[in-house]
Amino acid sequence: MRRTSAVPLSGTSAGSPSSGRIAGAAGAVAATAVAGSLAVDTGSAWYRGLSLPAWQPPGPVFGAVWTPLYASLAWSVSRALDRTEHGRDRRRTAAAFGANLVLNAGWNVLFFRAHRPVAATAGAGLLALSSADLARRAHRTDPVAGAALVPYAAWCAFATALTARIARLNR
């Protein structure tokens, strides 16, 4: 991907993604959040029976963290896509974004619905790699958008470590 000129795209201001692109990215992220949350069941007998590490954050922290991460994901990806000059690169970044969202919602299904912590660890690892790749892709086009994705990639890496520890504790 190449950086574009500083000229705003699609009538946007220099720092804002186009309204259509941000709406599409926000819609995709919101659908992912809803799909993922529908799979979560912390009240199930299975979940309540798990041994959890002492360093697992309390339940409310997850919502407090995921909300701004999802917002920054939608903003960053739409901003990077707006600044991607070539259609092929834009399509590749959009496909990487879509794959990331599938992995994001998929973790909840693997962990909470399928009760497969080992598989969920693999899914979380793929999500963390995908998130780092998304930050890299965004950074190549727009360093600000790439930097805004670093907390998302870091949280996904933390989630991988947490899931792996839960899997080990509950063999």
Question: Has residue 34 been placed in a domain?
Answer: yes
Mean pLDDT of 140-165: 98
Question: Has residue 13 been placed in a domain?
Answer: no
Domain that includes residue 68, residue range: 19-169
Q: Tell me what the pLDDT averaged over the chain comes to.
A: 91
Half-sphere exposure of 94 (CA within 13 A, CB side): 16
Question: Has residue 8 been placed in a domain?
Answer: no
Question: Has residue 9 been placed in a domain?
Answer: no
Number of structural domains in the chain: 1
* Confidence label for 101 from pLDDT (cuts 50, 70 and 90): very high
Question: Has residue 12 been placed in a domain?
Answer: no
Give the CATH number for residue 70.
Answer: 1.20.1260.100
pTM: 0.88
H/E element, 12 = none
H/E element, 86 = none
